[in-house]
Amino acid sequence: DQQVKQNSPSLSVQEGRISILNCDYTNSMFDYFLWYKKYPAEGPTFLISISSIKDKNEDGRFTVFLNKSAKHLSLHIVPSQPGDSAVYFCAATLTGTASKLTFGTGTRLQVTL
């Protein structure tokens, strides 16, 4: 039972354009969501997060949007840079079990010149 889904395995975007990565979840109990970025041969690194009491969180070029009614979140990267090329994982958790993360399958982002 895949509780967190990333339906696009890959995405290619031109440098300078917007990258939009999507994530859906099925467990309505999840109340905190995170995005992690993973380069080859490295562990995932935390990128940005959002609590279910918010619908938007912004950090520099990265913005995460949460639509609770649709059980959907998205990560926007503007402008995209070649160094953003990586695998992006969406993760969800519940307050009280905070560091036990449920991950999606990942989206590989390729930013081209």
Which residues of this chain interact with another protein, rule CB under 8 A? 4, 6, 32, 34, 36, 41-46, 49, 89, 91, 93, 95-106
Selection from 81, 73, 74 nearest residue 109 by Cα:
81
Q: In the numeric block, which tokens belong to residue 101?
A: 């993360």
Task: Give kind and range of the element (H or E) at residue 102.
Answer: strand 102-103
CB of 46 to another protein, least distance (A): 5
Report, in Å, the least distance between residue 89 CB and another protein. 5
* Least distance CB 21 / another protein (angstroms): 13
> Which CB, 6 or 63, lies closer to another protein?
6
